[in-house]
Structures are given as structure tokens and as C-alpha cells.
A and B are shown apart, each in its own frame.
Chain A
């Protein structure tokens, strides 16, 4: 792999950019791998990357039904934060956030991590208490966040109307080292690094069946033929239940549509990420100048990657009150993704009833921020059979009643 650098750009400039190589290979599947990861999104590729980097396991295939990073990795609003209430959540999300800090250097791929700060607005009395509680919990967890006044919110975001008639801004939970990153680049950077370690990334290859023998996984059937493996990682987000059914077990997950939209590009006006959970909306400004807006999920099961129009209307209506200047903005694009939501709104990183099959799913509406930490922890789980970061996220916690309840702490925007 040729290293990307300022020097490389200069070198290529002198020869009409003919020297760039493909970022990753396009191999045909081999007969057998030590590990197969299903799903070449951020979480799947990060898992493969850390299997190779942390544990030296490189006989790995990452199988993808569509194209690399074409699912929720390419459909989210790119927000990165780790201000969660529960200790186990804070641990894995903060691991992820800290890995984002050095990801561009680690992968030699610019993921444009921008720690511009994230504010979660408190607009009701209960939110004030909730976020102050989270700020205290974060202090104990070693996650750097603070409770800030409405005046400080206004200083950070001058375009915000803090005296809204319905929901005035009463303060905010501020994480200065939260922010955004280029979502596609995260997938592409991991793919390039995995390919460089000799792993096979096989796109347009759908898993049609999971083969087991005496309760242990032996391989998968795919549209490109059968492939054997010793261990199988299922990292397929919205389709987790569909794949689990092929392996003969069920998951406590429902798949629903979550939508986002972006406006036409405008001049820089807001250099932090703002989340307003009471009114179901969150917004940031991309480096291109577009206002990136997300809202709540639809209520019903859906695999179509299309959502309901009235949710877009609700989201935009809510944000217009807090950000009056966006009222005249034209919206450029709108899209949807299928998110996998668990009962306690926390992910599942776990062994399964089938020996050798591991599952990483249930990130719901908040998976992008967790990608590097999720990959780190999932790789440890698959390589060693256990990981301190995944221990409490096992799929059997529902049976035990050991929920990691973030549905209250995280609100709707996740």
C-alpha cells in the first residue's frame, strides 16, 4: 500500500495523477477463512481491522450484500459523542470517541474528524435534571462533559433562539470533544487498511444461509458459493434479525426507518452540533456548508430505507422554532436507513446460541459514533471469547433483566 501524504499529492501532480492505486482489492472468495464478518459497514470493517491489528488474525473475509459502507454507515448524520448515562455505555462510546481522535493517523486516511463540540439542549425541567445527572455521571466515568447555561449556549450558537415561545433553552449538556467525521471515509479508511493486511472484502455477495454442525458454525452459503469459516461475525444492523433467523435463533430487535435530510449549502453559521431531544431534532453544518438534520424514527417495522414524510415535517417544524434562520432554507436531499432497535436502546455485542457465531447489532439510531470502539471490543470478543467492553452488552441480558437503559438518558436522538 502506498502511503497517502502531502508528498504523494505533489508527486502525483507531476505525472497527471497516474500513480494512485486502488484503495482496496476486489478478490473472489476463497474456500475457507478463519473468520468471516458479514456486513462491510463501519462496524464490520472496524471489527476486521482490529482482529488484524490487535490480534494478528488476518485470514479474514468481510462479506457485503451491497456495496461497502452503503448502509447506515453512509446514511447517518455523523455525530460523535460519548455523554451517556450508564457506565457500560460510556465506556464503549468513550473508547470509540478516543479512537476517532487518532483515526486519520492510524489508518493513514483522512476521516476529517472534527471535534467541534456537541450540545444537547435542555428545554424542559426534567431535561435539566436529566442532563445534570448525566454530567455528574460523566465526571465519575472520566468522560469530559459539562452543564452549561443558556447564555453560554447562545455564545456557542448565535443563530439559536433561546427564548422560544414553546420550548425556551434552559441550558445544555456540552461535550467539547464531541463532533463529527466524514462517514464514508471511515468505511473507506478501514477497508483500505484491511485490504492491506491481506483480508478479502467481497462486495455484492449476499449470505443466503448459515451452515452449522452439532451446534457449531462451519460456514455460510452465499450468492458466490459456499465459504467455510471457524468463526462468524454478524454485523448487519437493520438486517440482524433476518440473518439470525438463517442461523436458527431470534434477537430482541425491531427494524425501523430513520431519516435524515440536508439543506442547500450556506456560509458557515454554526460550528457545533446541536441536539434538541424534546422537539426531536438535531442539526450540524457540514464542511460543504449544508445543514445536516436528523429526527426521530418511524414507529413501525420497515425494511425499505424509506420513511414517513410527516416525520420530516415534524423535525423541521421543531427546528425552525429554535433556529428561525433555517425557515427560508431549501432542502436538497432526504434519505432513510433501517436501524435495529433493542428494548433498552443499547447495542448487543455477544456470543449467540450457536458456537462460533458472534453478533454485533442493536446500535439503533446511534451507531456511527461507536464504530471504532465497537470494532475494538468485537474483535476482542471474537479473538478471546470475552471482552470487558462487551460483557454487559450480551444478548442474554434481557433474560436476566440486566438492562442498560439508555432510552431515557439518550432521548430520541441517539
Chain B
């Protein structure tokens, strides 16, 4: 079973306590943006086979969001971190690089 550490309340929660909330670090484009930008923000997804960043909600716990770095090809978890950020922290990036040298995802690598 998938277990993730919630950085908000410190609990190692298993997936029945959590709800997956889709891709992380989406840059929001709303009214006033171009159709292409809005379409990409709303619908287009990375959906990689490998390193992925995603949002989770600790629904049956503290109820707060956090972000996780995970491998979709092996289900390995590289780490979780606060949702109050626009970019994965260096420690998370280093943890991924140690296991998956040369990884890239969207604008990050």
C-alpha cells in the first residue's frame, strides 16, 4: 500500500487516508490569458512514465494539501513537501537525482 508522510501534521498516512489531487506545480492561467495557455493549464498534463510531482490531500487526517515526488513506473516515493512552494525543494531534487540521474519534469530537472 502506498504510504506518504504528511509534512503538515507529521503523520505517515496510508493511501486510504489520502486523496490524490492531480499534477502539482500547475501555473494557473485564468481570465485574460490566451486560449492556448488556458487550455494547457486546464487540460494538458505531463502524465510521465517516471518521475512525477503531484498534489495530495490528507482528507482523513489534517485535511491539508501537500506535494509529493513519486515514480509512476515503480511507485517509489522520493519525498513529500509543503504545498506552499512554486518549485520542489533542493533536498527533494537531490533525492530524485540520486535514484534517477538526468531526470526532468516540466521546467524542473
Q: Tell me whether B97 is interfacial, beta carbon within 8 Å.
A: no
Q: Whose C-beta in chain A lies nearest to the C-beta of B2?
A: A308
Q: Which of B42, B46, B48, B73 contacts A304, CB < 8 Å?
A: B73
Interface residues of A in 231-250 (CB under 8 A from B): 239, 241-242, 245, 250
> Are A251 and B47 neighbours in the complex by a CB distance under 8 Å?
yes
Contact bitstring B25-52, A, C-beta under 8 A = 1, else 0: 0000000000110011011111111001
Q: Which of B1, B44, B73 contacts A250 (CB 8 A)?
A: B44
Question: Quick one: which of B55-86 are within 8 Å of A by CB?
Answer: 70, 72-75
- Give Cα distance in the complex from A252 to B22, angstroms: 13
CA distance A252 to B44 in the complex (A): 4
What 1/0 mask marks residues of chain A from 212 to 240 whose CB sits below 8 Å from any chain B CB? 00000000000000000000000000010
Number of A interface residues at 8 Å Cβ cutoff, please give it: 24
B20 close to A (CB within 8 Å): yes
Number of interface residues of B (CB under 8 A): 27
A254 beta carbon closer than 8 Å to chain B: yes
Centre residue among B16, B35, B74 by max chain A CB count within 10 A: B16
Contact A309 B73 (CB under 8 A): no
Q: Mark A297-312, 1 if CB is under 8 A from B, else 0.
A: 0111111101011100
Contact A310 B47 (CB under 8 A): no
Asked if A310 and B1 make an inter-chain contact with CB atoms under 8 angstroms apart, the answer reads yes
How far, in whole Å, are A302 and B72 apart by their CA atoms in the complex?
Answer: 5
The answer on a CB contact under 8 Å between B47 and A254 is yes
Q: Point out the residues of chain B lying under 8 angstroms from A343, CB to CB.
A: 42-43
Which chain A residues lie closer than 8 Å to B16 at the CB level? Answer: 310
B20 touches A250 (CB 8 A): no
In the assembled complex, 14 residue pairs joining A and B whose CB atoms fall closer than 8 Å, in A order, are A250-B40, A250-B46, A253-B47, A299-B19, A299-B20, A300-B15, A301-B52, A303-B49, A303-B72, A304-B74, A398-B39, A398-B42, A398-B43, A399-B35
Are B74 and A250 closer than 8 Å at their CB atoms? no
Q: Is the C-beta of A277 less than 8 angstroms from some C-beta in chain B?
A: no
Which residues on B are within 8 Å of A, measured CB to CB? 1-2, 15-16, 19-20, 22-23, 35-36, 39-40, 42-49, 52, 54, 70, 72-75
* A255 interface residue per 8 A CB criterion: yes
Contacts of A304 in B (CB 8 A): 72-75
Query: A310-350: which residues lie under 8 A (CB-CB) from chain B?
Result: 310, 343
Q: How far is the CA of A399 from the CA of B29 in the complex (A)?
A: 14
Q: How far is the CA of A250 from the CA of B42 in the complex (A)?
A: 13
CB-CB nearest in chain B for A240: B47
A310 partner, pick from B15, B23, B48, beta carbons under 8 A: B15
Partner of B54, one of A239, A251, A252, A300: A300
B11 to A: closest C-beta gap in Å:
17
Q: Which residue of B lies closest to A344 (CB)?
A: B43
**A308 and B47 contacting across the interface, CB-CB below 8 Å:** no
B74 touches A300 (CB 8 A): no
Is there an interface contact between A241 and B54, defined as CB atoms closer than 8 Å? no
Interface mask (A277-308 → B, CB under 8 Å = 1, otherwise 0): 00000000000000000000011111110101
